[in-house]
């Protein structure tokens, strides 16, 4: 990039950036960024709603992922356009904060940009558009808070009913929609088992290939797959009532001396002393564990064949190489402390009402139920293809997050495009009270909100014009909760039909989409460093 002298005479060019640096700026760059974001929106728009299609993504390693979850698809797409990466970030933030609505937030952001494109081409300054979009987003979020329906928390039955409705709405657009009755109960039960702060890490999801999807089950406790075991394991008891549980980070295995240290000896008897000492140390550890009264021994590190047989002879169950996540969840649920030594274990043992090892499909699972310290749950998923089970897991994760949010906020709005149409009507009416170009820009924001019901109709193959016209008429005449009815190809009161979504989900989606749109509108130059290839906006 070079700067030339003024009209008074040519001065030598001033070199600002390295040779080969690629720069583009001005209105053309802004339009280019908007077009890139629209292309990303096109990639995911067909996944929205109960009749949405799935995407098959093949990565460099050859792994196939079939999903209609917006955040999953966005993270798998190798997007190189710098402005487009903003949409990936908002999809991830929506997934982390709410768990669902990831496709909606991308579509809202892309349609806001699409509506602003005409104004930019006509010469409206991007900062004016951004200011109006932020104002419109603030009005929309406040209106959601004003009209959201509060569910009474005092009535446990009403609360559970509300959670079931929110979980069913979340699942309606997922692979599990045909089994939603079965899984909504499972998800709500899994969340309601938890403590008041609803820790997500206390819900485990384990996948077991084979069997029918409705053979999936909820375990009110900790469950994990049987770990690698040595000979002697089959002789150990597989069921205990009220057992003490030892939780260790200790290796109970003999190793070849050359692996531990270099030892120089003069004769065989000295070598034998070293071997005997190692055996003695191992047996001392094992004896200390048995003396503590523990009936179940779990260790993050390996438990060798000698130790396995030793425990089997004394009616003690052991499992080595337990994953850190499973060990932490067992500690939280059953109490106790993970010890790095075998001495003085009595004060650090956990306990539960029942330990059992059970066959699930081709796998054996260890179950800890009736945990005394913290409440936890584990969902065991069954199914055919691995891709199917993985998509089922993603769908359940979204529903679990929605149920947690609904429990924390206890306000709901109607789904199926109803809340978006109501916000669109509200903003259009508000825009009429504002003079000047702001009226048009807030109207454009209102138009962008209609992308949700519009796309629901398009994905279901409905007559878009007919249904949106009906919805606009209904909302102007006071039908606040009317949205698209997928089953009848018409409109319906989705609050009465129990198509419910947590209000916080819509608040987060509109806020994040508006911020992303304003951020992209504020970029008027892109500089590409020739060496690193990194992109950065200015």
For the chain, what is the mean pLDDT? 86
Do 364 and 417 lie in one domain? The reply is no
Do 32 and 140 lie in one domain? The reply is yes
Sequence-separated contacts (24+) of 28-33 with Cβ below 8 Å: 29/523, 29/524, 29/525, 29/526, 30/120, 30/126, 30/521, 30/523, 30/524, 31/117, 31/120, 31/121, 33/81, 33/83, 33/520, 33/523, 33/526
Look at residue 355 and tell me whether its pLDDT is greater than 50: yes
Do 128 and 254 lie in one domain? The reply is no
Give the pLDDT band of residue 408 (cuts 50, 70, 90). confident
Do 423 and 492 lie in one domain? The reply is yes
Give the pLDDT score at 96: 86
Give the pLDDT score at 17: 58
Q: Which of 86, 102, 184, 378 is catalytic?
A: 102
Q: Which of 10-14, 38-42, 447-451 has the lowest mean pLDDT?
A: 10-14
Task: Give domain status of residue 340, yes or no.
Answer: yes
Do 238 and 130 lie in one domain? The reply is no
Tokens of 506: 């819509």
Final residue of a structural domain among 308, 341, 373: 373
Q: How many domains would you assign to the chain?
A: 2
Look at residue 59 and tell me whether its pLDDT is greater than 90: no
Give the pLDDT score at 22: 52
Q: Which of 29-43, 62-76, 256-270, 517-531 has the lowest mean pLDDT?
A: 256-270
Do 116 and 249 lie in one domain? The reply is no
In angstroms, rounded to a whole number, what is the distance separating the alpha carbons of residues 446 and 434? 14
Q: DSSP string spanning 453-488?
A: HHHHHHHHT--HHHHHHHHHHHHHTT-TTEEEETTT
In angstroms, rounded to a whole number, what is the distance separating the alpha carbons of residues 286 and 347? 17
Q: Report the b/e string of 116-150 with b at 16+ CB within 10 A.
A: bbebbeeebebeebbebbbbbbebbbebbeebbee
Final residue of a structural domain among 324, 353, 373: 373
Coil, helix or strand at residue 266: coil
Do 425 and 360 lie in one domain? The reply is no
Reported as a single tens digit per residue, the pLDDT across 274-289 is 777 888 888 888 999 9
Do 249 and 130 lie in one domain? The reply is no
Task: Give domain status of residue 126, yes or no.
Answer: yes
Do 249 and 367 lie in one domain? The reply is yes
Q: Mean pLDDT throughout 355-366?
A: 88
Task: Give domain status of residue 500, yes or no.
Answer: yes
Q: Which of 13-22, 235-244, 489-498 has the lowest mean pLDDT?
A: 13-22
Task: Give domain status of residue 181, yes or no.
Answer: no
Task: Give domain status of residue 483, yes or no.
Answer: yes
Give the pLDDT score at 32: 87
In angstroms, rounded to a whole number, what is the distance separating the alpha carbons of residues 184 and 399? 8
Q: Mean pLDDT throughout 237-264?
A: 79
Tokens of 337: 């402390």
Reported as a single tens digit per residue, the pLDDT across 316-331 is 999 999 988 889 889 8
Give the pLDDT score at 341: 86
Task: Identify the residue with better confidence: 232 or 191.
Answer: 191
Task: Give domain status of residue 8, yes or no.
Answer: no
Q: Mean pLDDT throughout 114-121?
A: 92
CATH assignment of the domain containing 37: 1.10.560.10
Other C-beta atoms lying within 10 Å of the C-beta of residue 304: 17
Give the pLDDT band of residue 148 (cuts 50, 70, 90). very high
Give the pLDDT band of residue 157 (cuts 50, 70, 90). confident
Please say if 22 is a catalytic residue: no
Give the pLDDT band of residue 106 (cuts 50, 70, 90). very high
Give the pLDDT score at 19: 58
Q: Which of 69, 95, 100, 485 is catalytic?
A: 69
Do 48 and 146 lie in one domain? The reply is yes
Do 418 and 367 lie in one domain? The reply is no
Largest pairwise CA distance in the chain: 101
Q: Are strands 482-485 and 490-493 parallel, antiparallel or unpaired?
A: antiparallel
Please say if 227 is a catalytic residue: no
Reported as a single tens digit per residue, the pLDDT across 65-76 is 888 888 888 888
Task: Give domain status of residue 509, yes or no.
Answer: yes
Residue with tokens 């650090």: 348
Do 277 and 330 lie in one domain? The reply is yes
Other C-beta atoms lying within 10 Å of the C-beta of residue 269: 8
Coil, helix or strand at residue 321: coil
User: Full-prediction pTM beyond 0.75?
Assistant: yes
Q: Which of 95, 100, 326, 398 is catalytic?
A: 398
Q: Mean pLDDT throughout 506-517?
A: 93
Q: Which of 65, 72, 86, 103 is catalytic?
A: 103
Domain around 27: 22-150+413-528
Q: DSSP string spanning 190-238?
A: HHHTS-TT--GGGEEEEEEEBS-GGG-EEESEEEEEPPP--TTGGGS-S
Task: Give domain status of residue 3, yes or no.
Answer: no
Look at residue 50 and tell me whether its pLDDT is greater than 90: no
Other C-beta atoms lying within 10 Å of the C-beta of residue 78: 8
In angstroms, rounded to a whole number, what is the distance separating the alpha carbons of residues 219 and 479? 43
pLDDT cut 70: percent of the chain above it: 92
Give the pLDDT score at 154: 74
CATH assignment of the domain containing 318: 3.50.7.10
Residue with tokens 């569910």: 151
Look at residue 466 and tell me whether its pLDDT is greater than 90: yes
Give the pLDDT score at 362: 83
Task: Identify the residue with better confidence: 428 or 151.
Answer: 428
């Amino acid at each position: 990039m070079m700067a030339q002298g003024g009209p008074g005479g040519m001065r030598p060019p001033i070199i600002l950036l390295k040779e080969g640096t690629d720069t583009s700026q001005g209105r053309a760059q802004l339009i280019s960024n908007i077009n890139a974001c629209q292309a990303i929106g096109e990639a995911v728009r067909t996944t929205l709603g109960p009749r949405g299609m799935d995407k098959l993504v093949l990565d460099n390693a050859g792994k196939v992922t079939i999903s209609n979850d917006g955040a999953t698809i966005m993270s798998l797409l190798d997007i190189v356009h710098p402005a487009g990466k903003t949409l990936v970030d908002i999809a991830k933030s929506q997934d982390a904060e709410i768990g669902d609505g990831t496709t909606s937030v991308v579509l809202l952001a892309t349609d806001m940009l699409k509506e602003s494109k005409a104004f930019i081409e006509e010469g409206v300054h991007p900062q004016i558009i951004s200011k109006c979009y932020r104002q419109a987003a603030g009005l929309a979020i406040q209106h959601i808070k004003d009209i959201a329906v509060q569910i009474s928390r005092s009535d446990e039955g009403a609360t559970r009913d509300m959670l079931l409705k929110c979980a069913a709405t979340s699942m309606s657009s997922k692979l599990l929609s045909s089994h939603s009755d079965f899984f909504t109960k499972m998800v709500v039960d899994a969340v309601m088992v938890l403590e008041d702060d609803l820790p997500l890490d206390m819900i485990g999801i384990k996948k077991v290939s084979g069997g029918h999807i409705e053979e999936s089950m909820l375990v009110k406790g900790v469950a994990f797959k049987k770990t690698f075991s040595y000979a002697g394991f089959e002789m150990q008891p597989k069921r205990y009532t009220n057992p003490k549980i030892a939780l260790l980070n200790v290796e109970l295995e003999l190793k070849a001396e050359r692996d531990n240290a270099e030892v120089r000896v003069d004769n065989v008897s000295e070598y034998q002393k070293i071997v005997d000492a190692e055996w003695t140390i191992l047996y001392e550890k094992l004896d200390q564990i048995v003396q503590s009264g523990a009936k179940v021994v779990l260790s993050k590190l390996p438990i060798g064949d000698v130790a396995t047989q030793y425990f089997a002879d004394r009616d003690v169950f052991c499992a080595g190489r337990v994953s850190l996540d499973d060990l932490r969840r067992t500690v939280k649920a059953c109490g106790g402390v993970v010890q790095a030594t075998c001495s003085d274990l009595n004060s650090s043992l956990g306990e539960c009402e029942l330990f059992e090892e059970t066959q699930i499909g081709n796998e054996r699972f260890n179950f800890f139920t009736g945990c005394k310290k913290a409440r936890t749950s584990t969902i065991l998923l069954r199914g055919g293809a691995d891709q199917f089970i993985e998509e089922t897991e993603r769908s359940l994760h979204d529903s679990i997050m929605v149920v947690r949010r609904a429990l924390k906020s206890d306000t709901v709005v109607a789904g199926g495009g109803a809340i978006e149409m109501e916000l669109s009507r509200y903003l259009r009416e508000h825009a009429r009270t504002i003079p000047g170009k702001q009226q048009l820009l807030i109207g454009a924001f209102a138009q962008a909100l209609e992308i949700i019901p519009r796309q629901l109709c398009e994905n279901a193959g409905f007559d878009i014009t007919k249904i949106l016209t009906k919805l606009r008429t209904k909302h102007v005449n006071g039908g606040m909760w009317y949205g698209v009815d997928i089953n009848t190809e018409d409109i319906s009161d989705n609050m009465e039909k129990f198509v419910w979504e947590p209000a916080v989900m819509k608040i987060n989606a509109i806020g994040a989409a508006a911020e992303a749109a304003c951020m992209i509108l504020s970029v008027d130059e892109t500089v590409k460093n020739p060496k690193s290839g990194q992109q950065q906006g200015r």
